[in-house]
Amino acid sequence: MMRAFALGFLMLFAAASLPAASPAEEVSAAIKKLKDQGNYAWTTTVESSGTTTNPPRRTVTEGKVAKDGTIYLAIPRYTQKMESLTRGKKTAYKVLGEWQGLNLEPEGGGATNRFRLGGRSRFSAPPPDAEAAELLAKAANLKREGADFVGELSPADAYEVAMMGVRIRTATIAEDQTKGRLRFTVKDGMLAGYECHVTAAFTVGGSPRKVDRTVRVVISDVGKASFEIPPEAAKFL
């Protein structure tokens, strides 16, 4: 009896002596747990405050990912909804009732390193587990805030996210006015959503410009999401 008690005490002492996981490790584990579920759905809401040349905008994209990695998106396009299916580097998209094919491999091969939060192109986007992992790798000063984890982006990373993959080679960034804030929501040890708010100030050809954008991703139907691939789309994947 005493021996069993002593063994149990030693095990508790050893567990208590283990270093606590860092915020980054906790978020990384939550992202992995989501990915391991195999399938889930999500909504991505992008809100832009507008500029002198563009009015404020709010778009909501719905997505689902299957166990084999195939991604379905329902994307708002003006007054219509566009659908797309992506598997690897191949995408099929439906516009005006017709499915068409698109190869996402950059010309000349290789991968692009441009980070476009909310979508790599008009027709595709990485699943939230991949996008959240990219954001986590950029996060600085990550800490717990209630049930969430919050962090910051460097001016360079905030600018890249704010521009959503668009590069203006002649742009000069105002670093003191360019920043980003991240928030990861974790429930039951699994990623439930994340938010990124970025503001960027820069000049192009002497003309000042500003971007203020918030992207919110909410994950749902974990382990229960499903969708069908029409034969007309399957031939492009």
What are the domain boundaries of the chain? 21-234
> Residue 4 region, left (φ>0) first, then alpha (ψ -120 to 50), else beta?
alpha
Phi and psi based region of residue 206 (left: phi greater than 0; alpha: psi -120 to 50; beta: remaining): left
Confidence of residue 123 (pLDDT cuts 50, 70, 90): low
CA pair distance 177, 54, nearest whole angstrom: 20
The predicted-structure confidence for 76-103, as pLDDT tens digits, reads as follows 876 778 899 999 889 999 988 899 987 7
Between CA 86 and CA 80 the distance in angstroms is 20
Give the span between the Cα atoms of 87 and 72, in whole angstroms.
Answer: 9
Report which of 84, 45, 92, 87 is spatially closest to residue 66, judged by C-alpha positions. Answer: 87
Count other Cβ atoms within 10 Å, centred on residue 70: 16
Q: Which residue has the higher pLDDT, 18 or 231?
A: 231
CB 118 within 8 A of CB 135: no
Mean pLDDT of the region 8-36: 76
**If pLDDT is split at 50, 70 and 90, which confidence band does 204 have?**
confident
| Residue 168 CB contacts under 8 Å (≥ 6 apart), including other chains | 202, 204
- Model confidence at 18, pLDDT cuts 50, 70, 90, reads low
pLDDT exceeds 80 at position 116: no
Tokens for 126? 């990485």
**Which whole number is the average pLDDT over 122-141?**
89
By 3-state DSSP, what share of the chain in percent is helix, strand and coil, each rounded to 5? 25, 40, 35
- Which has the higher per-residue pLDDT, 159 or 110? 159
pLDDT in the model for residue 16: 46
- CA terminus-to-terminus distance, the chain: 64
For the record, the structure tokens of 63 come out as 């997505």
Domain 21-234: CATH architecture, name and number where available = Clam (2.50)
C-alpha span between 174 and 208 (Å, rounded): 10
pLDDT band with cut points at 50, 70 and 90 for residue 109:
very low
